Amino acid sequence: MSCASKKYLSLMNKVLDQEATEQEERILYEHLANCVECRAHFDELKYSTDLLCRLAHPQLPAGFTKSVLAQLPPEKRHAIRRWGSRHPVLAAMAICAVPMSLVIVGARRQTMQSRDKNGYVLVKVSGDQT
Amino acid sequence: MDQKEKRLIKKVKKGDQQAFAELVDRYKNSVFAICFRMVGNTQEAEDLSQEAFIRAYNHIDQYDHERKFSTWLFRIATNLSIDFLRRRKTSVSLDAVVPGTEGLSLNTILPDNGELPDEQMVRRENEEMVQSEIKKLPEKYRSAVVLKYIEDLSLKEISDIMDIPVGTVKTRIHRGREMLRKNMTAGGGGQA
């Protein structure tokens, strides 16, 4: 480029970076209309970046995520908590199971005791549940 | 960054690998594209992408949640690619491949979009030409150009990823663009 190229070159870059003001854009395009050399330069810049933009994203081999996971260090903490968040129903059942079993055991004991007071024979209590 | 991603990262910080798998699925294509355009070979790009994710997982505590996760991740990927290129430079004779053919097999590059065979041929030739021109760029211009034109990132994001001022990003992109222009139009058959 032989004309006052520095100025226009930086304008071209601004336009290509989408950072030019409307006025700057107008100045550039007016110049390009009259300057074959700058016009060619600008077209070439656009041509090469257009080719770049049009490149297809390469396709990733299948199983990529799996093989990344396989290479991670083993999970350590909070495994139980995570299991719980993934299976909320089972977790709720597991949590309920504790007080429930206490209640059941307690209830049974109570019945045993009351039977005791009522004068049932102890031998009969141990063989209960018939 | 969306809320779902924030939640995922929180879980990953606690060591949840299932949450991490979701992050990998989100970003694997971008990370792979960056690595592939940087090194120009699918196998090496895949290895580098895997390494990038593994590093991200192992160093998730260093991730600052005030910033974009993608920025942090792309930074790891870019740095790994640059390191790889530097290492390869020292052993270039061993890794020499026929120019323009590396990793560009039909099924890896071409989307299956029902193109006619000669359209595919033209596209493939173009792809190969562009890829080999990208490869000629010095690393620091190459990474800026790849992030800008392959990943379509803003200058600010690129500056965060590369940890250099926006002004420097611009200079690198301008120089890279100028080199591409020279090489593509002088040697590469000119304007379409």
Tokens of A128: 């209960």
- Average pLDDT, integer, range B126-132: 89
**A97, amino acid identity:** A
Give the CA distances from residue B67 to residues A120, B6, B64, B157, in Å, rounded to whole numbers and listed in that order: 74, 11, 6, 10
Q: How many CB atoms lie within 10 A of CB B100?
A: 14
Whether B158 is in a domain gets the answer no
Check B155 against A77: CB less than 8 A apart.
Answer: no
Q: How many CB atoms lie within 10 A of CB A2?
A: 7
Residues A3-57 have pLDDT tens digits of 556 789 999 999 999 999 999 999 999 999 999 999 999 999 999 999 999 888 8
Whether A61 is in a domain gets the answer no
Angle at the Cα of A43 from the Cα atoms of B117 and A12, rounded to 5 degrees: 135
pLDDT of A125 over the 80 cut:
no
Q: Looking at the 3D structure of chain B, how many domains does it have? A: 1
Among B15, B109, B178, the residue with its CB nearest the CB of A58 is B109
Q: How many CB atoms lie within 10 A of CB A97?
A: 10
Check B149 against A17: CB less than 8 A apart.
Answer: no
- Minimum CA–CA partner of B108 in chain A: A59
pLDDT of B51 over the 90 cut:
yes
pLDDT-derived band at A2 (thresholds 50, 70, 90) equals low
Whether A103 is in a domain gets the answer yes
> With contact defined as beta carbons under 8 Å apart, do A32 and A20 qualify?
no
The pLDDT of residue A61 is 82
Q: Looking at the 3D structure of chain A, how many domains does it have? A: 2
Among A41, A55, A82, the residue with its CB nearest the CB of B130 is A55
Whether B125 is in a domain gets the answer no
CA–CA distance, B76 with A127 (Å, rounded to integer): 70
CATH code at B51? 1.10.1740.10
Residues near B91 by beta carbon (within 8 Å), at least 6 away in sequence: none
Whether B78 is in a domain gets the answer yes
pLDDT of B97 over the 60 cut:
no
Whether B76 is in a domain gets the answer yes
The pLDDT of residue B68 is 92
Whether A96 is in a domain gets the answer yes
Check A61 against B50: CB less than 8 A apart.
Answer: no
- Average pLDDT, integer, range B93-100: 48
Check A77 against B28: CB less than 8 A apart.
Answer: no
Among A19, A49, A71, the residue with its CB nearest the CB of B149 is A49
pLDDT of B75 over the 90 cut:
yes
Check A53 against B152: CB less than 8 A apart.
Answer: yes
Mean pLDDT lowest among A32-36, A108-112, B99-103, B136-140: B99-103
Residue to test with chain B: of A14, A60, A67, most B Cβ within 10 A:
A60
Whether A93 is in a domain gets the answer yes
Its pTM surpasses 0.80: no
CA–CA distance, B144 with B137 (Å, rounded to integer): 10
- Does residue A49 share a domain with residue A89? no
Mean pLDDT lowest among A86-90, A98-102, B154-158: A86-90
- Domain ranges, residue B77: 1-96
Closest CA to B72 of B168, B163, B166: B163
DSSP summary character for residue A58: P
Q: Please enumerate residues of A whose Cβ is less than 8 A from a Cβ of B.
A: 13, 16-17, 19, 41, 43-45, 47-49, 51-61, 64-65, 67-69, 71-73, 75-78, 82, 86
Calculate how close chain B gets to A24, using CA atoms only, in Å. 18
Whether A24 is in a domain gets the answer yes
Whether A92 is in a domain gets the answer yes
Check A73 against B58: CB less than 8 A apart.
Answer: yes
> With contact defined as beta carbons under 8 Å apart, do B112 and B56 qualify?
no
Whether A107 is in a domain gets the answer yes
DSSP summary character for residue A118: T
Whether B183 is in a domain gets the answer no
- Domain ranges, residue A110: 84-118
Residue to test with chain B: of A12, A19, A57, A86, most B Cβ within 10 A:
A57
pLDDT-derived band at A121 (thresholds 50, 70, 90) equals low
Calculate how close chain A gets to B158, using CA atoms only, in Å. 13
Whether B6 is in a domain gets the answer yes
Tokens of B6: 């924030």
Whether B111 is in a domain gets the answer no
Whether A41 is in a domain gets the answer yes
